């Protein structure tokens, strides 16, 4: 079986293949710091080194910073053991004070340098101007890499000839029911790494009851979630998942123990319906 290592970004920075998503919204509102710390520790122990957050995700940045600081103090890990992605929200883009928000994220996370900062959405009339500001921040060394989330090919094409730095990473909703074939092809051609948010589509009935995924789960002796995440990995994409129970985290980490055949990969891709759990129209006005 092919050994799959980190993804090397266009600027040489190495990014993990798998990310734990940590929003303190959508199901994590009542979690306390000690519980949050255990999630990060369990992820680390399962060799999951990518953490995904945002300035807009409630207390997430603050809890990540505090949890890592405590774990480092306890001698259980080092700061550089994790690759942390955060994002500039839409409201922050409208204001345009991009460097202020990067500085705020660094302070909240307790970091001197962030691994990856994304514009959360391609906000019409703002994202290209804000991208230029993000380029300057990158040149100052405050972030190791920069990118944009939820962009389609047309947004990236609009940046061509204007942006001095091609995004190192694009993050968007990708899973077997939203394959984004054109975006995958574009990013491969431009040497842009892909992160897949909502990579399990929140395990709605469309996903967990799908006959094809269930059949393949039996064939490989894996769960539907493992099949979906392994599909992403073999597509060259870094999936972002959310799992907070220890046994779920361990299950996710096992996706590197098997390989899906080319024929089955193609079968999974045919499930595409261009379905998004998080529609652009309700998240980014004028998208």
Residues catalogued as catalytic: 57
In this structure, what token pair is assigned to residue 273?
A: 């319906």
Q: Which residues pair with 19 in a beta bridge?
A: 50, 240
Nearest to 64 by CA among 20, 15, 119, 17: 20
State the residue for tokens 């595409």: 272
Q: Give residues with Cβ within 8 angstroms of 253, minimum separation 6.
A: 18, 46, 47, 48
d(CA 175, CA 179): 6
Per-residue three-class SS string for 130-171: HHHHHHHHHHCCCEEEEEEECCCHHHHHHHCCCCCCCCCEEE
Dihedrals phi, psi of 19, to nearest 5 degrees: -125, 135
Mark out the alpha helices in the chain (DSSP H runs). 33-45, 60-73, 90-95, 98-109, 127-139, 153-159, 181-190, 205-208, 211-220, 224-234, 246-253, 262-269
């Amino acid at each position: 079986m092919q050994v799959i290592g980190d993804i090397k970004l266009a600027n040489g920075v190495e990014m993990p293949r798998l990310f734990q998503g940590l929003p303190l919204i959508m199901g994590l509102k009542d979690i306390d710091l000690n519980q949050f710390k255990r999630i990060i520790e369990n992820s680390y122990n399962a060799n999951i080194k990518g953490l995904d957050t945002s300035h807009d995700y409630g207390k997430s940045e603050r809890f990540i910073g505090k949890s890592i600081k405590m774990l480092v103090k306890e001698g259980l890990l080092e700061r550089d053991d994790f690759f942390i992605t955060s994002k500039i929200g839409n409201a922050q883009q409208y204001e345009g004070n991009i460097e202020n928000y990067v500085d705020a994220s660094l302070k909240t996370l307790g970091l001197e340098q962030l691994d990856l900062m994304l514009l959360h959405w391609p906000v019409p009339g703002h994202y290209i101007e804000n991208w230029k500001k993000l380029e300057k921040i990158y040149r100052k060394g405050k972030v190791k890499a920069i990118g944009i989330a939820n962009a389609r090919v047309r947004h990236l094409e609009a940046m061509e000839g204007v942006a001095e730095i091609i995004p190192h990473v694009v993050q968007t909703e990708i899973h077997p029911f939203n394959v984004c074939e054109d975006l995958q092809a574009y990013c491969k051609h431009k040497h842009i790494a892909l992160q897949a948010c909502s990579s399990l589509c929140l395990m709605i009935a469309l996903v967990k009851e799908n006959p094809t995924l269930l059949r393949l789960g039996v064939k490989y002796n894996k769960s539907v979630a493992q099949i979906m995440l392994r599909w992403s990995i073999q597509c060259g994409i870094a999936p972002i998942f959310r799992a907070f129970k220890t046994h779920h985290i361990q299950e996710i980490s096992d996706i590197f123990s098997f390989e899906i055949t080319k024929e089955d990969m193609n079968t999974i891709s045919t499930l595409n319906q261009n379905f998004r759990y998080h529609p652009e129209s309700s998240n980014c006005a004028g998208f």
